[in-house]
Structure 1
Amino acid sequence: MNRKQTLLLSVMLAAGTLSAYAQKPEDTEFYEPVPKVVTPGKTNSDAPSDAVVLFDGKSLNEWTMTDDRGKPAEWNVADGILTVNKHSGNIETVKSFSSYQLHIEWRIPSNITGSGQARGNSGVFLASLGKGDAGYELQVLDSYNNKTYVNGQAGSIYKQFIPLVNASKAPGEWQSYDVIWTAPTFNENGTVKTPAKATVFHNGVLVQNDVSLLGPTQYIGKASYNNAKHGPAPIKLQAHGDHSEPISYRNIWVREL
């Protein structure tokens, strides 16, 4: 480096130093917009002040039958617990949601029998897309010492994503899902613009880390967004026939994002 180059470099370094000294701490401090105040629940499982409580242990006013919307939900409520009625079918929320934070607790009966998918089978559909099992399913199953296909065990995005770990508790114990759901968006022609995303904690353990769903759940074949364009949708709980009795739920709340 010659003398002229050395002098130029010195000038540039000095200018950079002076520029840094010219800045003030408050130049990178922001005071607006002010985040709204949300009062947390007494525990992390309790609903915060801005949550929509979907099941408070008393009524099913926030729920309706999936296959006959407008008809009151026909699952069983007793002692603060909501239990699947395998003879009535799926239920879903009266309200529709886009992106949200969801908390839900569930329990496999302690005397459960069967094996594989026939062992306490239900599901939380993060967005219901109509009658039956149409939508995006987060699997509910007894996966405590119960072998099945891994993209169908508890904590899986059914038939799409294997959970990162198996965080299941034994039958008879209450378990929880905490979900961050980002709803998909679509172009005018029906093609997907941004896919649905889900982050899931099972019993406080991360099992799905911001996964991009391939489309709504398919029991047979690969998931896709073909002909799936939709807007806000209800949250659905599955009654899986003989396999679902008598799975229980409690403490269900959602925060719209």
Structure 2
Amino acid sequence: MKQKTFFSRLLGIGSLFIQFGMLAQKEPVSFQDLGFWKSNGKNNWQIAGQVSADLNKKEFMTTQPGQGILVNLPEPQNRANLISAKEYGDMDVEFDFMMASHSNSGFYLQGRYEVQLMDSWGVQNPSTGDCGGIYKRRKFIPQEYLYEGHAPRVNACLAPGLWQHMEISFQAPKFDAQGNKISNAKVLFIKLNGYTLHENVELSGPTGGPISEKEVARGPIMIQGDHGAVAFKNLKIKDFDGQAASLSPVNYQVFYGKFKSPKDFINKKPNASGTQAQLAWNASKNNDEFATVFTASLNVPKAGKHNLELVSAGNYTLQVNGQMVASDTIYSNRRKKNVEVELPAGNSSVKITYYKNDADMSPMLGLGIEGPNFRMVNFQHPSSTLILGNGPSDIILLDAPKPTLLRSFVDIQQNDVRKRLVHSVNVGNPAHLHYTYDLDNGAIAQIWKGDFLDTTPMWDNRGDGSSRPRGPVLSLGSSPLVVKTADLEKDSDSISETAGFKIGGYEVDEQELPTFEYEIFGSQIRDQIRVIENKYLQRTLSIKNPNAEASLKVVSAKSIQSLGNDLYAINGQSYYIQAPQASIRTTATGQVLVLPLAEKITYSILW
């Protein structure tokens, strides 16, 4: 029987002293000035209001006055690293960063463990030195020798001049009372632009270029400033500097029967009772038609707001110090519930009443807590949150070692609303750049990097006919590409009935790449999308009888900025469009990038 770990969405329940949401909010670092950092005697680091990097000019970055962005502009005689005044142990950190073309930097945890920041746009086989890599260790025997290091799973790097987002969860090395190291530092995860690059990577020692080879329990953040131009904003840190909570052995009472609510069994004599070292639903010998009452003492070192997380499949109530903080007495499938509770220092009583009747789902129960200065700690036995065989039989993944096409339903996000495309083609490429084409609108609906598709929803059990990208997507929407010029400012995700739209399907060339065909407003269109230099998508439209009253609505966005040389930054430098002869129009909801209809049109999407 296969068992699969359960992951689910978070829900919140409110009460007198309970709030919705997660507790662990990261503290923002001010970039109004350089006060967070130690003085280094150089002025290559500065504060700016805006920054941009030339896509084609090496090591080139320009700034505009203001606040909110930290920028490194090194010169041969003016370059130095930046070190925080505060030191950290266990921490979660996230930030946005921008690389200049061919630039190189690094983010050092505790000043000793480097996460590489690099312009790795288009690299097919990333190494430890590419963006998101954990750099190699170094020793001299007598020449410099590099070893270990961890390459990212996938190249998730965006083009130079675009804002990228990195998240790091770090566990510091631990030492005994005599100062001897008893456990290595560990990267719990690193994410770049939504892609998970590393998980649970143990670090045997400092990587190359640390502030010291001696490991410590707490150390500063260091940003490499002696290599290349780089910018940062939205730096946020969560410092886990406290002792974790603990739970006493768990007492339980089990009642067998089909119960609609706790009042049906709470006054009965239990069929079984005892004590568990860890919380586990299987105090019951049945998988359904049972109820169990668990009681324990929860010890938290420091008074304050704590996030309680309950995982369940069935019905439950959760009480803390005699007060109800969460409950689900209606049918409940597998899910997590999170509640924020104010707890005193020391012991608090916890009572979980769990009952389950439905045989169609596996039992499941777990309890965790996160404090103001410690990470989430779980108190359940690992088996208590496993699905017992009624999840998907297998995960069915589709790779694209060569150009690969798959017709399927596809769910996309458009204007923050989910939309299902029912006539779509997913096109995968061995360069790890993929897209979904909406045949109903002649639109590139979404693009993504990395692995191709998860087709499990299509084939598991009866299936629903849909597939899902295996990486975070850049949603472009499925609005029609060709519209009447008079309608450019209208928001519409469907083609008007008067457009005379006819789908012509697609033909595949010798490289197994598609060209899509359709007719609209009396114009016959061939739409060819190709990967260029393993970096970006180029779209070429060949149009017979171009309608003089129609235009190409290339993109609709909140903001579009012209950077010169036919290059446009979309939505705050999230991605680029390169489009000769394009123009920007302002609408009631934002801006649109427009091209006149012509016999041949070429533009590119760079991200």
User: TM-score under structure 1 normalisation?
Assistant: 0.65
Q: Structure 1 residue aligned with 2:166, among 177, 186, 189?
A: 177
Whole-angstrom CA distance in 1 between matches of 2:72 and 2:169: 24
Whole-angstrom CA distance in 2 between matches of 1:187 and 1:143: 40
Secondary structure of the 1:63 match is: coil
Question: Does 1:82 pair with 2:82?
Answer: no
**Structure 2 residue identity aligned to 1:249:** F
Q: Once the 2 structures are TM-superposed, how far is the Cα of residue 228 of structure 1 from its aligned partner?
A: 2.2
Question: Does 1:91 pair with 2:61?
Answer: no
Give the corresponding residue for 2:190.
Answer: 200
1 or 2, which has the higher strand percentage? Answer: 2
Secondary structure of the 1:95 match is: strand
Whole-angstrom CA distance in 2 between matches of 1:229 and 1:141: 25
Whole-angstrom CA distance in 2 between matches of 1:165 and 1:78: 31
Residue-by-residue CA offset, 1:129-155 (whole Å, 9 max, x unaligned): xxxxxx110000011124787111111
Q: Once the 2 structures are TM-superposed, how far is the Cα of residue 88 of structure 1 from its aligned partner?
A: 3.6
List runs of 5+ in structure 2 lacking aligned partners.
1-16, 50-67, 137-148, 241-607
Pair 1:240–1:147, CA change in 2 (3 A): farther
Task: Check the 8 A contact 1:108/1:141 in 2, yes or no.
Answer: yes
RMSD in angstroms over aligned alpha carbons?
3.0
Q: Give runs of aligned pairs for residues 69-218 of structure 1, distance below 5 A.
A: 75-79=45-49, 80-86=68-74, 87-109=78-100, 112=101, 119-128=102-111, 135-146=112-123, 150-159=127-136, 160-187=149-176, 191-198=180-187, 199-218=189-208
Runs in 1 of length 4+ with deviation above 6 angstroms? 35-40
**Structure 2 residue identity aligned to 1:236:** M
Q: Once the 2 structures are TM-superposed, how far is the Cα of residue 51 of structure 1 from its aligned partner?
A: 2.8
Whole-angstrom CA distance in 2 between matches of 1:103 and 1:51: 8
Task: Check the 8 A contact 1:139/1:156 in 2, yes or no.
Answer: yes
Give the corresponding residue for 1:62.
Answer: 36
Task: Check the 8 A contact 1:201/1:207 in 2, yes or no.
Answer: yes
Task: Check the 8 A contact 2:91/2:171 in 1, yes or no.
Answer: yes
List runs of 5+ in structure 1 lacking aligned partners.
1-34, 41-47, 113-118, 129-134
Q: How many residues align?
A: 189
Give the corresponding residue for 1:14.
Answer: none
Question: Does 1:248 pair with 2:231?
Answer: yes
Residue-by-residue CA offset, 1:94-118 (whole Å, 9 max, x unaligned): 1111101101111013xx2xxxxxx
Pair 1:143–1:97, CA change in 2 (3 A): same
Whole-angstrom CA distance in 2 between matches of 1:100 and 1:176: 17
Residue-by-residue CA offset, 1:9-65 (whole Å, 9 max, x unaligned): xxxxxxxxxxxxxxxxxxxxxxxxxx996977xxxxxxx8843322x3422211114
Q: Once the 2 structures are TM-superposed, how far is the Cα of residue 203 of structure 1 from its aligned partner?
A: 0.7
**Structure 2 residue identity aligned to 1:59:** D
Q: Once the 2 structures are TM-superposed, how far is the Cα of residue 227 of structure 1 from its aligned partner?
A: 6.3
Pair 1:39–1:254, CA change in 2 (3 A): farther
Give the corresponding residue for 2:28.
Answer: 53
Q: Once the 2 structures are TM-superposed, how far is the Cα of residue 180 of structure 1 from its aligned partner?
A: 0.4
Whole-angstrom CA distance in 2 between matches of 1:184 and 1:154: 24
Give the % identical residues: 26
Secondary structure of the 2:86 match is: coil
Pair 1:93–1:141, CA change in 2 (3 A): same
Task: Check the 8 A contact 1:63/1:73 in 2, yes or no.
Answer: no
**Structure 2 residue identity aligned to 1:98:** G
User: TM-score under structure 2 normalisation?
Assistant: 0.29
**Structure 2 residue identity aligned to 1:205:** Y
Higher alpha-carbon Rg = 2
Whole-angstrom CA distance in 2 between matches of 1:234 and 1:188: 22
Pair 1:240–1:36, CA change in 2 (3 A): farther
Pair 1:89–1:187, CA change in 2 (3 A): same
Q: Once the 2 structures are TM-superposed, how far is the Cα of residue 85 of structure 1 from its aligned partner?
A: 3.6
Structure with higher RCO (Cα < 8 A, 6+ apart): 1
